[in-house]
Structure 1
Amino acid sequence: MCGITGYLWTSGKRPPTQQTVDRMTDRLVHRGPDGRGVHRIEHDDGSGIALGHRRLSIIDLDSGHQPMTNEDRTVWITFNGEIYNYRELRDGLESRGHQFRTNSDTETIVHLYEEYGDDCVAHLRGMFAFAIWDDRKRRLLLARDRMGQKPLVYFQTDDRLIFASELKSILAAGDVPSEIRPQAIDEYFLYGYIPHPGTIYQNICKLPPAHIATWQNGRFSVRQYWKPDQVPDANASPESLREDLRDALDESVRLRLRSDVPLGSFLSGGIDSTIITGCMQSQSQSTVQSYSIGFADPRYDESEFAAEAAVHLGTQHHRMMVQPDSLDVLDKLVQHFDEPFGDSSAVPTYYLSELTRQHLTVAMTGDGGDELFCGYDRYPTIDATKRFDALPAAIRRLVTGPWVGLIPGRSEKSIGRRLRHRLRLLGRPLEERYLNWATGSPPSMRRQIYRDDFSASIDGEASEAFVANLMSMTSGMTPGMTPGMTPGIRAMRTDAGSYLPCDLLAKVDITSMAHSLECRSPFLDHHVVEAAYRIPFDQLSQSNRVKPFLTDTFPQHLTDRLKNRSKMGFSVPLDRWFRGDLRDYSRDCLLASDATCHQFLSVDAIENLLNEHDDGAWNHGGRIWSLMFFESWGQFAKQDQAVEAA
């Protein structure tokens, strides 16, 4: 795993200094502490490109240095990620006459590009973000992996294109405006993250998953290169579907066991991580090293289940009990994420990565299992609404009519309030229902905390369009027209294109890279994803069972108790933190006269929210964490920009 950066300029643009390129590269040192490289090409017309790379050595430790080139030095690459099928690809390329100087997966991409051009990405199995400069054509290719495991951000104008693994590297160029994009703030408070292709900054973008971008002669374009078949196969037998999934996942794990450094697994005792660890152990010639963390609060402690899984699978298990220093870790997370990020599970993921990196350089994870195999309660919940939608229109209007507003109850835990809310949702289109269940932050709720002038400057519906469009485009058809595309399937596909890459994978990448740890996710191999997409919803969701298709496919890796344990989630006790140790700090931070968030948010609304949480009327722990992260990011960004300007 590595960090990449680059600066392309046209003949009319003043080239960046070598000091600038070095600064951009070294801002990514945490992603690649084992080595650095910079290559600069300048043409007679004054145009050119500089490529930077920070290396975390995983494969071919001695000769895999970057930026790397082909035999005649006309094609250059800076690459972040791992290509797991590089050996198989290399054999095919050598049979076509390509000559290799290293044993690295990076060089394989260079020769694939020579052979297939932009279509080289179709041959790759792995996680990646890379840039290839073709000096003959004076053409740049940027690419990001199918599921969005590795990040790639860019800034583009008529006379320059700057790209990097992280925003901090682009900002280090010194000539990139850092103007905040107001709509991004609304997106953040809606989703807890800022969805692609946007970032917190006005003119810096994220390359979406499964996309490539090209630049040539001043023309920049972005296109999607992979889109799996969305529709389940209703004609396939359960046995054949299980066999296909078993073969795909076993192969995915086998390929991801390739490493020249120590490798282990994250093991929470949940179904996904336990199955991945079990597949590892069954294919490994040595005992797998597994890792978990535990918390003193039993509501958030999975260590008992992790220990049970480790004994069952026969791993060498390592557990660390932690008492999170929430203030310290918040500051560290803000420094690494570069933009607001509201998912508090980044805290335990950060600690787990820190523990694991003390022993290993590579860890397997169970990421993607929930989105592929119906791991969230919201999937069967939203799928059940199809029965309501099948009722006559007159009955639907009656059930969701104006009388619903008369149902009493205002407190968070009030049964009446919850019933009123759900009945109103049933009267809305599927996309709006799902958006509410997935985020819980409709425009009216978000606007309560906004200043009036800020509220007037944004469009709440535009923020919601990211997920709403993904769901509406699922297969391009409606459930009634496409057999198998039930509301539950459509919700899962939507999460795979939004929550998974923008929240979960971003979190794992940033927190693991903060400790120079590489995380590999076998469920996210595109062959596994395509096998999972063939499974009908009624096989993925069954009453009183958790992920039945997955557990029936890999029963040998799970104890009876682990097969049916409810999902706990990887979280921290925010409700208790903000009524206890962090109560005064959160108030001092969010209500301070110089708080940066007051440019956008109402001080009175923030204070009211803190009071409601403090009184126990509502659990606003997640919202307070989002506010704290937003304010801490604002303060850090202001200080960082002042340093860069100096």
Structure 2
Amino acid sequence: MCGITGIINLNEPEPIREETLRGMLGMLRHRGPDEFGIYRSPWAGLGSARLSILDLSGGQQPISNEDGSLWIVYNGEVFNYVELRPRLEALGHRFTTHTDTEVILHLYEEYGPDCLSQLNGQFALAIWDERERSLFLARDRMGIRPLYYALPGGQFLFGSEIKAMLAHPALTAEIDPAALAQAFTLWSVQPPASIFRGIQSLPPAHYLRLKDGRIEIKAYWSLDLSQEMDPDQPLAPALEEFKNLLIDSTLIRLRADVPVGAYLSGGLDSSLTTAIIRKYTQNHLETFSIAFSDPQFDESSYQLRMAETLGTHHHVVYATHEEIGRVFPQVIWHTETPILRTAPAPMYLLSGLVREHDMKVVITGEGADELLGGYDIFKEMLVRRFWARNPESEMRPMLLTRLYPDIAALNSPGRAYLKAFFKKDLSQTDSPFYSHSIRWGNGLRLLRFLQPQPLASLAEQAAAVPLPAGFDHWSALAKAQYLEMTTFLSPYLLSSQGDRMGMSHSVEGRFPFLDVRVVEFCNRLPAQWKMYGLTEKWFLRQVGRELLPEEIWRRVKRPYRAPIHRSFFNADAPEYIQRLLSAEALEESGLFNPIAVGQLARKAASGAALSEVDDMAVAGVLSTQLVYDQFVQHFSTRKASLTAADRVRVIDHTAEVHPL
């Protein structure tokens, strides 16, 4: 795993300053502290901050092809590089390293952009063609690894993180109010936007080509849930095929020249991948989990049960309200975007624990809920559709009591609130966004805190979500899954809660459920195999029966959450909270209504119970104020270049000009 960055001249050749690239790489040190590489030519400058996982002594980037016409910097892992390399060698390609990076480069040399269809992994890559003076950027199918770009002052900048690009003297941060409204409504900024004006995110499963100052962006893959298997076919062959795919996707993610650990949440998904490692390898296995001081969020008893059953060497980080509040500014420094929850904070602490034990790689279970129907939002959609067929029924809405046990307001003794809450737009089942209308409608309520308050409708905000051809003909569950994967999994779960929290401590997460073979197989499963009645992940549970204790594979899904307002309003509240929520700070940023935020802060400080929406507002306002404070107001104080003590390899071709 690495951090990458670069600068391309759009108009005239002008050697990129090494000092500028060093400054940009300095902002990515956490992604790759082991060594740094720089390539300079009259038209391009590339930089790599490397976290050494494969070919520890010989895989330093940038890497070139045989004649030095192509140069690559790359962030990620392609797990099938072992199988791809012999084919390339048979075609005459010569290798100088044992890395997956070089395999990608030669594959691109052979097939161009079509090489992406052969890659099974998680990646963001940049390839500079010195002869054509063209740049090729690409991002993995599910958006596991980030990649951003911008065009300030006659140059094209790219980077794994926005902070690397902001280290360039021509780029400054300015929060985009439209993107902020989108983050509050849809729970994340949707690609290709970012929270900052003029800084774009390359969408998942897309590549970008830059040549002669022109940018071309194309999708090379898409989520397709249109073709479901016949639900009347025998279950056993499908289960066997899936189990074999999951075993292989887990085992190839152990490919590394360093030890690989595993996150263990106590739920079905991570327990299953960890059990696969224990059953099919002889690896000594270190596992890591989060325990909460607040029992409402704690799952440590299940984590310890699995660790004992599997015989792993288990480590636990203890997350208190005070600790979550303490690290929240560091969390936002790494997310680089507003968030509506504090769940990334314990993940930040967890990756710190992994690094304390000298580990760089962990297997984790993200993706299973989206692919196999694990979330309450899917149950909510099915119940509301069932209720909509008889809107006056008194019994059908009672099924809603089986949802969201973690949200107290929805489980109070009075059923009138529950019924009224979920009945909104009940009959609009033809809406493509029906499954997410309640969630996003709650998000719209948060806009009252913004200043000026956007006059945005749900339809206007949802317009940022691209829908594939034929979407109207997909099953109801397939539509909901697609929306969850595109609007939440990639831009929030795999980013703010995943990549950014792992890499904050130089830890790479690997995701067996997001192997492209597993994704495409799950997308063909019948809806009723995923959600059997209101039993979530029914298909995955059948695999779990073979490998897990009954109390784990039968366990009802408990969403991973963390306390919000109690982490910021307590006896040991950090100084930054009062400062950033003061009327002066709110007026300075100009993003929020000081009166509305002041009322919210006083309510939270009083110890009164907060609604789910108010809790999200606390996280949203604080995180946005931190983004403004760290990236807009005081970014210059955070800049940190490479030092004389760093291992830096510089490839200087500034004197060479290749003719077109």
Q: TM-score, normalised by structure 1?
A: 0.90
Listed as ranges, the matches of 1:555-634 within 5 Å are 555-578=545-568, 580-581=570-571, 586-595=577-586, 599-613=590-604, 614=606, 616=608, 618-619=610-611, 620-634=614-628
Aligned equivalent of 2:229 = 233
2: CA distance between counterparts of 1:343 and 1:80? 27
1: CA distance between counterparts of 2:9 and 2:608? 56
Listed as ranges, the matches of 1:531-546 within 5 Å are 531-543=521-533, 545-546=535-536
Residue 304 (structure 1) aligned with residue 293 (structure 2): no
Query: Per the alignment, do residues 183 and 85 of structure 1 end up closer, same or farther by CA in structure 2, a change over 3 Å counting?
Result: same
What are the Cα deviations for residues 232-277 of structure 1, in whole angstroms up to 9, with x where unaligned?
Answer: 2126432222122112111111211111001110011100000010
Query: Per the alignment, do residues 599 and 15 of structure 1 end up closer, same or farther by CA in structure 2, a change over 3 Å counting?
Result: farther
1: CA distance between counterparts of 2:476 and 2:573? 41
2:356 to 355, 358, 377: 358
Quick check: 1:348–1:571 contact (8 Å CA) kept in 2? Answer: no
Query: Per the alignment, do residues 121 and 321 of structure 1 end up closer, same or farther by CA in structure 2, a change over 3 Å counting?
Result: same
Quick check: 2:351–2:501 contact (8 Å CA) kept in 1? Answer: yes
Q: Alpha-carbon deviation of 1:161?
A: 1.1
Aligned equivalent of 2:324 = 326
Residue 3 (structure 1) aligned with residue 3 (structure 2): yes
1: CA distance between counterparts of 2:287 and 2:173? 41
Q: Alpha-carbon deviation of 1:522?
A: 0.5
1: CA distance between counterparts of 2:4 and 2:216? 20
Q: Alpha-carbon deviation of 1:572?
A: 2.1
Q: Alpha-carbon deviation of 1:596?
A: 5.5
Q: Which moved more, 1:576-585 or 1:431-440?
A: 576-585
1:65 to 53, 60, 65: 60
Secondary structure of 2:634's aligned partner: helix
Quick check: 1:300–1:568 contact (8 Å CA) kept in 2? Answer: no
Q: Alpha-carbon deviation of 1:549?
A: 0.6
**Percent sequence identity over matched residues?**
32
Secondary structure of 1:299's aligned partner: coil
Aligned equivalent of 1:126 = 121
Q: Alpha-carbon deviation of 1:17?
A: 2.1
1: CA distance between counterparts of 2:245 and 2:587? 49
Residue 260 (structure 1) aligned with residue 252 (structure 2): no
1:516 to 506, 519, 525: 506
Secondary structure of 1:542's aligned partner: coil
Aligned equivalent of 1:476 = 470
Listed as ranges, the matches of 1:95-174 within 5 Å are 95-156=90-151, 159-174=154-169
Structure 1 residue identity aligned to 2:363: M
Structure 1 residue identity aligned to 2:581: L
Secondary structure of 2:52's aligned partner: coil
Quick check: 1:3–1:32 contact (8 Å CA) kept in 2? Answer: yes
Secondary structure of 2:39's aligned partner: strand
Quick check: 1:313–1:557 contact (8 Å CA) kept in 2? Answer: no
Q: Which moved more, 1:73-82 or 1:297-306?
A: 297-306
What are the Cα deviations for residues 468-496 of structure 1, in whole angstroms up to 9, with x where unaligned?
Answer: x44xx3x6242xxx4xx322221012111
Q: Alpha-carbon deviation of 1:19?
A: 0.9
2: CA distance between counterparts of 1:152 and 1:344? 23
Q: Alpha-carbon deviation of 1:601?
A: 1.4
2: CA distance between counterparts of 1:615 and 1:353? 31
The count of aligned residue pairs is 615
Query: Per the alignment, do residues 260 and 573 of structure 1 end up closer, same or farther by CA in structure 2, a change over 3 Å counting?
Result: same
Aligned equivalent of 1:188 = 183
What are the Cα deviations for residues 309-355 of structure 1, in whole angstroms up to 9, with x where unaligned?
Answer: 12222322222334352333112112222222333110111111111
Aligned equivalent of 1:407 = none
What are the Cα deviations for residues 390-425 of structure 1, in whole angstroms up to 9, with x where unaligned?
Answer: 569xx89xx99xxxxxxxxxx985643332232222
2: CA distance between counterparts of 1:109 and 1:126? 11
Aligned equivalent of 1:494 = 483
Structure 1 residue identity aligned to 2:341: D
Secondary structure of 1:441's aligned partner: helix
Q: Which moved more, 1:134-143 or 1:234-243?
A: 234-243
Quick check: 1:336–1:510 contact (8 Å CA) kept in 2? Answer: yes
Query: Per the alignment, do residues 533 and 460 of structure 1 end up closer, same or farther by CA in structure 2, a change over 3 Å counting?
Result: closer
Query: Per the alignment, do residues 228 and 198 of structure 1 end up closer, same or farther by CA in structure 2, a change over 3 Å counting?
Result: closer
Quick check: 2:432–2:479 contact (8 Å CA) kept in 1? Answer: no
Query: Per the alignment, do residues 330 and 583 of structure 1 end up closer, same or farther by CA in structure 2, a change over 3 Å counting?
Result: closer
2: CA distance between counterparts of 1:228 and 1:185? 26
Aligned equivalent of 2:86 = 91
Aligned equivalent of 2:384 = 385
Aligned equivalent of 1:340 = 338
Secondary structure of 1:320's aligned partner: strand
Which consecutive unaligned segments of at least 5 residues does structure 1 have? 43-47, 401-410
Query: Per the alignment, do residues 477 and 550 of structure 1 end up closer, same or farther by CA in structure 2, a change over 3 Å counting?
Result: same
Quick check: 2:264–2:288 contact (8 Å CA) kept in 1? Answer: yes
What are the Cα deviations for residues 423-461 of structure 1, in whole angstroms up to 9, with x where unaligned?
Answer: 222033534542333445253x1332223x4536x7764
1: CA distance between counterparts of 2:588 and 2:298? 33
1: CA distance between counterparts of 2:234 and 2:9? 56
Structure 1 residue identity aligned to 2:17: T
2: CA distance between counterparts of 1:566 and 1:89? 40
Query: Per the alignment, do residues 169 and 248 of structure 1 end up closer, same or farther by CA in structure 2, a change over 3 Å counting?
Result: same
Secondary structure of 1:229's aligned partner: coil
Secondary structure of 1:154's aligned partner: strand
Q: Alpha-carbon deviation of 1:583?
A: 6.8
Which consecutive unaligned segments of at least 5 residues does structure 2 have? 398-408, 641-660
Secondary structure of 1:567's aligned partner: coil
Q: Which moved more, 1:304-313 or 1:63-72?
A: 304-313
Quick check: 2:250–2:273 contact (8 Å CA) kept in 1? Answer: yes
2: CA distance between counterparts of 1:439 and 1:459? 10
What are the Cα deviations for residues 113-138 of structure 1, in whole angstroms up to 9, with x where unaligned?
Answer: 11101111111111000001112221
Quick check: 2:324–2:346 contact (8 Å CA) kept in 1? Answer: no
What are the Cα deviations for residues 133-172 of structure 1, in whole angstroms up to 9, with x where unaligned?
Answer: 1122211110000000000000136832110000001111
Structure 2 residue identity aligned to 1:342: L
1: CA distance between counterparts of 2:311 and 2:639? 54
Secondary structure of 2:250's aligned partner: helix
Residue 637 (structure 1) aligned with residue 626 (structure 2): no
Query: Per the alignment, do residues 461 and 601 of structure 1 end up closer, same or farther by CA in structure 2, a change over 3 Å counting?
Result: farther
Secondary structure of 2:416's aligned partner: helix
Query: Per the alignment, do residues 248 and 588 of structure 1 end up closer, same or farther by CA in structure 2, a change over 3 Å counting?
Result: same
Secondary structure of 1:466's aligned partner: coil
Query: Per the alignment, do residues 432 and 227 of structure 1 end up closer, same or farther by CA in structure 2, a change over 3 Å counting?
Result: closer
Aligned equivalent of 1:53 = 48
Query: Per the alignment, do residues 635 and 644 of structure 1 end up closer, same or farther by CA in structure 2, a change over 3 Å counting?
Result: closer
- The one of the two structures with greater contact order (alpha-carbon pairs below 8 A, sep at least 6) is 2
Q: Alpha-carbon deviation of 1:645?
A: 10
Quick check: 1:436–1:442 contact (8 Å CA) kept in 2? Answer: no
1: CA distance between counterparts of 2:388 and 2:434? 12
Query: Per the alignment, do residues 645 and 69 of structure 1 end up closer, same or farther by CA in structure 2, a change over 3 Å counting?
Result: closer
Secondary structure of 1:529's aligned partner: helix
Q: Alpha-carbon deviation of 1:73?
A: 0.2
RMSD of aligned residue pairs (Cα, Å): 2.6
Secondary structure of 1:257's aligned partner: coil
Q: Which moved more, 1:577-586 or 1:246-255?
A: 577-586
Secondary structure of 2:449's aligned partner: coil
Quick check: 1:343–1:503 contact (8 Å CA) kept in 2? Answer: no
